[in-house]
Amino acid sequence: MNREETIVNERAREAVYRRALEVRASRTVATQGPASQAWTRTGTVRLAEIPEGVLIGRVALAEPNADVPTGDYYVGSAFHQGDHFTVFNWAARVAATFFADTGHDWCADVVGRRSFAHEGDRIADFEDIRFEGATGGPLFQARRLTVPKAPARALPTPVAAPAASPVSTPMPAPVAEPTSHRAPDAPAPRAGAPLRAEGLLRRQLRAPRTGHLGAVLATLQPDQYDLVTRRADEDLIIEGHPGTGKTVIAAHRAAYLVSRADHELDEGDAPVRRVLLVGPTDEYADHVRPAIDRLTGGSDAVDVISLRRLLATLAGVPDVPEGRAITRIEDGASEIFSFAHAAARIHRKQQAARNRTTMRLRDAYDVLRANGTAQEPITRDPEWDRYFANLPRFESARMSRMLAPMLAAIGWHLSSENPYAGYDCFIVDEAQDVMAAEWALLDAIATGNERWTLLGDLNQRRSDAALASWTHVGDLLGILDDAGDAPVATISRGYRSTAPILEFANRLLPKAERAVRCVQTLGAEVQIARVRTATLHDEAVTRAASLGTRYPDGTVAIISIEHPVTELELTKRRWRKDPDHAYRWTREGQSIDVLNPNYARGLEWDAVVVVEPARFPQNFLRHGLLYTSLTRANQELCVVHSEALPEALRGR
């Protein structure tokens, strides 16, 4: 078959696969009793959580075997054993034969792989790679299929099973997904290893950004796959520069942990029923949720929440304002957690003495402001006493992002319930910006044997009040090894952003950390436009609109400390705020996102205009927030300024 015929044939197989999963998903699953409720959180009859049928790739073996008599198989979103082909779940061990060269005994028998690219829900392209041992003929034998017609009758209405005999999800026998062929202690992929499915990857990187993170299993690289599939009982800290795929790893690891079959777990590796992914902003949560839903079939086993929403829940308040990073060390210090405990304890005594049972955040906060009582001070340290005395009244405190960790800690100690109980794994992205007091809170809500996966870049820290090393973070969470070292894995290959963008942004880093190792080695030079102060935001909008014409199907953003002024300029030009997006403006089919840099963390666009770098807050010898903003662009970066650029960015 020629290339077009091959694509048509693979589409037909995917259609058969998708239809089979739809039928399986229509079957009811009765969940009842404490054991099941621990992971479903309902105990009611529901549909099976089966992802949409998507074929990710195909693997050819040198010889057929008992499990795969055809000699080849697919890797997809869920397991399927059909009459003509087999699909293994991407989270199964055998899928290592597609993603990497090690990790399963069959890896030694692999003679070829095919990776698929999709447009919408259809296979649009593929890339084959042959290995030693492949014959000169076709890598995969052609077995034509026809797409089945949709069933004429409606699927049966789910019916609850009798209470005395709960029904489990009908699953294929474990032997269908081979589990006894894992290659133990396989070495991790080398950082400089060749790219997998390189052609598809490069086309994917050049494709317009959609505004949401996508599932990228077809082009997931071996080093990324290694981190995604680490054991659930392993604590992990992943360090990497902007664009190295940390958020991709976070989302795919969350999905992987809840997608593994119990019968595939290693000895001592407990199943994961629920995962909490904590991100920096609400925008981040909206960005990654679609990818996780696609990978898990919309399962409620993975929750995604911003750190500020988590703090608001613990404080028992409707919302916590987002804003600039905490800069005063005391506001984010770990001692705040223990001081909050003391304030809550004193507050309870006062309430009992007054014969009152209501525990109020305001009253406990006032106890902290007063440093306890004369008979029972919270601390005798004069510096902390002065700090407490200078705290604002409660009405102002609850509107301050700086004091959110304190209010959350007080709320936590006042409450008798843990709203985040039951998670088996916590994944924290942009972890470099989490304060010590916030780590203490996260550690407190992780009440059992939960494991941690942290992702971040210390060069992107927004504040000197944040912990300066992963060793300090690991010590707070109790995840250091016997030698006192943090479990850090470093990733260095950049995917987002071109070499010119990274070379420009990396001038803000210490010289020893400026090495650029990126996939997109070519790209447009960074545009630098110096203008009069009066025309600063006018020029920013003009540049963004021009970039929008070059990326009509993509995304463009303006990142500015003074973003309200930029929005006024957009209003003058008859741009309108999109009611469905917090930061998007539209006009005549074009769109521009306008954000404060604090909200841009973890996000990406095709092109970005950064306005007035001199006004970005600077840490001690670091430009963490500016560095983050300069690296949000995938293809083009423009800097518009009226004041002098930071010294490191001057000159070309």
Per-residue pLDDT tens digits for 280-297: 999 999 999 999 999 998
For the chain, give the mean pLDDT: 87
Confidence (pLDDT) at 652: 59
Same domain for 308 and 442, yes or no, is yes
**160 and 16 share a domain?**
yes
DSSP 322-370: --SPP-SHHHH-THHHHHHHHHHHHHHHHHHHTT-----HHHHHHHHHT
Confidence check: pLDDT of 99 > 90 = yes
563 is in an annotated binding site: no
- Asked if residue 59 belongs to a domain, the reply is yes
Closest by Cα among 554, 651, 529 to 604: 554
The pTM for the full model equals 0.86
- pLDDT, residue 631, reads 96
User: pLDDT (tens digit, 9 = 90+) per residue, 201-251?
Assistant: 999 999 998 878 888 999 999 999 999 999 999 999 999 999 999 999 999
Specify the pLDDT at position 45.
38
- Length of the chain, in residues: 652
Do 140 and 17 fall into the same domain?
A: yes
* 3-class DSSP assignment, residue 612: coil
Amino acid, single-letter form, for residue 523: G
Query: For residues 163 and 33, what is the distance between their CA atoms, to the nearest angstrom?
Result: 9
Do 328 and 310 lie in one domain? The reply is no
**179 has pLDDT over 70:** no
Domain count, the chain: 4
Do 527 and 450 share a structural domain? no
| CB of 526 closer than 8 Å to CB of 639 | yes
243 is in an annotated binding site: yes
Rounded mean pLDDT, 614-638: 90
Is the separation of the CB atoms in 374 and 346 below 8 Å? no
At position 369, the amino acid (one-letter code) is R
Give yes or no for residue 177 having a pLDDT over 80.
no
CA distance 556 to 600: 12
Q: For the chain, give me the number of helices (H) and strands (E)?
A: 20, 21
The C-alpha torsion from 112 through 118 and 121 to 124, rounded to 10°, is: -90
As a whole number of angstroms, the distance between CA 279 and CA 257 comes to 18
Q: What is the pLDDT of residue 326?
A: 83
* Per-residue confidence (pLDDT) for residue 236, from 0 to 100: 98
> Count of alpha carbons within 13 Å of 562, Cβ hemisphere only?
17
Q: What is the pLDDT of residues 536-566, one digit of tens each?
A: 999 999 999 999 999 999 999 999 999 999 9
The yes-or-no verdict on residue 435 having pLDDT over 90 is: yes
- What is the mean predicted confidence (pLDDT) over 508-517? 85
pLDDT at 320: 83
Instruction: Say whether 186 sits in a helix, a strand or coil.
Output: coil
Q: Is residue 189 part of a domain?
A: no
Judge whether 245 is annotated as a binding position.
Answer: yes
Q: How confident is the model at residue 325 (pLDDT cuts 50, 70, 90)?
A: confident
Q: Please tell me whether 137 is known to bind a ligand.
A: no
Residues 307 and 427 grouped into a single domain:
yes
Q: Are residues 78 and 224 in the same domain?
A: no
DSSP letter for 253, please.
Answer: H
The pLDDT, as a whole number, for residue 267 is 72
Percentage of residues in the chain having pLDDT higher than 70: 87
Q: What is the pLDDT of residues 146-163, one digit of tens each?
A: 544 544 433 333 333 333
For residue 307, give the CATH number of its domain: 3.40.50.300
The amino acid present at 330, given as its one-letter code, is E
Specify the pairing of strand 584-587 against strand 590-595: antiparallel
pLDDT score, position 321: 79
Band (168; pLDDT cuts 50, 70, 90): very low
Question: Is the CB of residue 94 less than 8 Å from the CB of residue 104?
Answer: yes
Task: Label the pairing between strands 527-530 and 451-456.
Answer: unpaired
Q: Which residues of 226-252 are buried (b: 16+ CB within 10 A; e: fewer)?
A: bbbbbebeebbbbbbbbbbbbbbbbbb
Residue 191 is assigned to a structural domain of this protein: no
pLDDT band of 120, cuts 50, 70, 90? confident
The mean per-residue pLDDT over the stretch 263-290 comes to 89
Same domain, 97 and 128: yes
Residue 44 confidence (pLDDT): 40
Percent of the chain with pLDDT over 90: 71
Distance, CA of 303 to CA of 286 (rounded, Å) = 12
Q: Which residue is listed with tokens 């959110």? A: 404
In this structure, the answer to whether residues 396 and 487 fall within a common structural domain is: no
Kindly state whether residue 296 falls inside one of the protein's structural domains: yes
219 is in an annotated binding site: no
26: confidence class by pLDDT, cuts 50, 70, 90: confident
Any domain includes 193? no
Over its C-alpha atoms, the chain yields an Rg (Å, rounded) of 27
316 annotated to bind ligand: no
- The range of the structural domain enclosing residue 133 comes to 3-184
Categorize the per-residue pLDDT at 145 as very low, low, confident or very high, splitting at 50, 70 and 90: low
Single out the residue in 414, 436, 461 at which a domain terminates: 414
**Could you tell me which residue, 212 or 411, shows the higher pLDDT?**
411
> Is 118:54 a contact under the CB 8 Å cutoff?
yes
User: Which one-letter amino acid corresponds to residue 439?
Assistant: W
Question: In the structure encoding, which two tokens stand for residue 69, read together?
Answer: 């008599």
Tokens of 149: 């017609």
Residue 355 has pLDDT above 80, yes or no: no
| Domain membership flag for residue 280 | yes
**Position 244 in a domain:** yes
Q: Is residue 463 part of a domain?
A: yes
Residue with tokens 């029972």: 376
User: Which of 363, 380, 414 delimits the end of a domain?
Assistant: 414
Residues 368 and 476 in one domain: no
Q: For residues 367-376, give the mean pLDDT.
A: 96
pLDDT digits over 231-241, tens only?
999 999 999 99
CA distance 403 to 287: 27
Partner residues linked to 112 by β-bridges:
60, 130
According to the annotation, is 241 in a ligand binding site? yes
Tell whether 240 is in a known binding site: yes
Q: What is the pLDDT of residue 248?
A: 96
Based on the domain organization, do 401 and 329 belong to the same domain? yes
- Report the alpha-carbon distance of residue 62 to residue 68 in Å, rounded: 11
Same domain, 579 and 547: yes
Q: Which of 132, 155, 184 is the last residue of a domain?
A: 184
